Amino acid sequence: MGLLDRITTPADLRRLTPAQVDELADEVREFLVQSVSRTGGHLGPNLGVVELTIAMHRVFESPRDTMVFDTGHQAYVHKLLTGRQDFSALRKRGGLSGYPSRGESEHDVVENSHASTALSWADGIAKANVVQGRTDRHVVAVIGDGALTGGMAWEALNNIAEGHDRRLVIVVNDNGRSYAPTMGGLAFHLDTLRTTRGYESFLSWGKRALHRTGMPGRFAYEWLHGLKKGLKDVVAPQGMFEDLGIKYTGPIDGHDTAAVEVALRRAKAFGGPVIVHVMTEKGRGYSPAEQDVADRFHAVGQIHPETGLPLAPSRFGWTSVFADEMVRIGRRRPDVVAITAAMLAPVGLAPFAAEFPTRTFDVGIAEQHAATSAAGMAFAGLHPVVAVYATFLNRAFDQVLMDVALHRAGVTFVLDRAGITGDDGASHNGMWDMAMLSVVPGLRLAAPRDEPTLREALRAAVDVDDAPTVVRYPKGSLVDPIPALETVDGVDVLARVGEPGDPEVLVVGVGSMVPTALQTADLLAAHGLRVTVVDPRWVLPVPSALVKLAGEHAHVVTIEDGLVDGGVGAMLAQRSREAGVATPVQSIGIPLGFLDHASREQIVDGLRLRPQDIARDVLTALAGASR
């Protein structure tokens, strides 16, 4: 029986000897590699925080002391140390979430959060502790250097600095990366702390001297810390944090558990806000991840644990098509530039950056800045393409509305992983975009159904210079091309099934739901209906041709992978009423709410978005209307 098997609560950690702590760290890494290679998940970030998380739970007493993990994809170790060691169904229905989850444990506080929010959560909890006289507890926020590129983190730091009586410890987990190498002035400053030759030489000399003395670990660290303190202003400038009024300690080797524990105990005893700066290595202890420069192990599918290679090669996907088309556009249009928020490779902009490095801008985890900076670029004569995951555009809605749309800026937003994504959980489904963006005046949104329509939509989008444009597409592999029978004023007619004279139904497929629309049509035709299937491609604003087609049918069904409330179907119904079209519009999509983590297929099944479910609901609606 290994040490990990005997850890059921964080209190068990505090009974371990230093040697056992090191043994436990090895066991945790082996567990992560073996488990995540079978299920997929965030491997690299968790391998990097093993010693750090163990030290946190040895120094602080969760759940009385609150631990908040920014983003949360590095919380697997925290789960293991708080009694959750069944990873067999990680990120699958009924299994552990890939992020902290209140439904799983009292040790979890912030659900599947977006980045750069942890410090605001921690500030609020610490303030509540002060107001309610709870002086016996601390708040610990773990935030990566990548998340510190987000403006919200600095808003929080500005407020935390004034709270000298708040027992708040901020652990900066500094590995030089988020999804990709951390960008910007903050990255440069932290890199200075990491790589200053004088600091490194002094630290190396001190460790060698301590080794020769044989001094016990904790006392040795205290001695070295005292010597370091006098030279730190010379060899490791720290003014960026201390000028805010927040006590700073570090940088500390995040893989030296004893050193991290001493630093955390000092921070805990201080009684006010403290930043503990630890340096970690993403993917630590797993050779394929340590040797990988492309950060493929940030999140993985099923892999061979020995080699890190995927069990099955990925099929050519939507992101790859976007990547290729962007390079083609870039060669033709020197005014087109690319912007991303710390996700250059995941959103497919790496090839563009390789060919056009001076026209590619990674702004860090700062979607708000990305949108407004793009508006400025458009004003100055460029056409920016801002590529983010659909769920992350939620963070920049005000900037899209007031900085881009209000100023009629020609900016294209490309939303990867739109619709139902599934296993990453509630906050990562890209289901909000169409309903949210439907209220933006002048905005045009395309939902391509296959590779040709994606390429065509992107080319059309960058030709618009007087309004924001959006191109959205799902996660995963491409479907085979779906040709149109004909195009009616911009609306593609994809199929006509059933016999003439039967009641006519118009089925509108939106983007990735077009194959579902076609299958639904066949099922309805088998029940004696004549069905026309169309794809508007550009769904916002609602095309007038689509309203006209609605008026030519007895019943309209819209099928989308976004919210029903405020979605494409709702907008079509509204525009039809305004045009005096009385045809009822039946909207099929995602109901208002949050979706638990599960596979996409399971979510589709649960939401009754399969063709047979939709056909049944349409027949029920028609039967009710005929009574």
- 286 annotated to a ligand binding site: yes
The one catalytic residue among 395, 417, 475, 530: 395
For residues 503 and 554, what is the distance between their CA atoms, to the nearest angstrom? 7
Residue position matching structure tokens 């005292």: 226
Parallel, antiparallel, or unpaired: how do β-strands 66-69 and 139-144 relate? parallel
Distances (CA, A) of 36 to 89, 287, 302: 10, 15, 7
| Residue 147, amino acid | A
Tell me if 76 is assigned to a ligand binding site: no
Please state, in angstroms and as integers, the Cα–Cα distance from residue 274 to each residue in 169, 193, 247, 309, 439, following that order: 5, 17, 5, 41, 43
**Alpha-carbon distance values, 368 to 417, 546, 564 (Å):** 19, 33, 26
Whether 5 has a binding-site annotation, put simply, is no
Is 554 marked as binding a ligand?
Answer: no
Q: Give the H or E element holding residue 516.
A: helix 514-525
Token pair, residue 518, equals 């076609």
Tell whether residue 350 is among the known ligand binding residues: no
Report residue 106 as tokens: 């009292």
Which residue, among 553, 51, 575, has the nearest Cα to 278 in the 3D structure? Answer: 51
According to DSSP, the β-strands at 274-279 and 247-253 are parallel
Peptide bond into 251 cis (omega under 30): yes
Residues in Cβ contact with 136 at an 8 Å cutoff, skipping those fewer than 6 apart: 64
Neighbour order of strands in the sheet with 360-362: 360-362, 336-340, 383-389, 412-416, 469-472, 444-446, 538-540
- The strand pairing partners of 66, in sequence order, are 139
Catalytic residue among 367, 444, 449, 575: 367
Is 367 marked within a binding site?
yes
Within 10 angstroms of residue 209's Cβ, the number of other Cβ atoms is: 14
Both structure tokens of 538: 């550009």
- To 10 degrees, what angle do helices 50-59 and 18-39 make? 130
Of the candidates 167, 232, 282, 575, the residue annotated as catalytic is 282
Burial of 334 (0-12, 13-18, 19+ CB in 10 A): exposed
395 is catalytic: yes
Run of H or E including 616: helix 611-626
CA–CA dist 327, 333 (Å, integer): 10
115 is in an annotated binding site: yes
Residues composing the chain: 627
Alpha-carbon distance of 560 to 431, in angstroms, equals 10
Active site residue 127: no
Q: Is 380 annotated as a binding residue?
A: no
Question: Using CA atoms in the order 571, 572, 574, 577, what is the torsion angle rounded to 10 degrees?
Answer: 170
Annotated binding residues:
73, 113-115, 145-147, 175, 286, 367
Annotated binding residues for thiamine diphosphate:
73, 113-115, 146-147, 175, 286, 367
> Which residues are known to be catalytic?
282, 367, 395
Annotated binding residues for Mg(2+):
145, 175
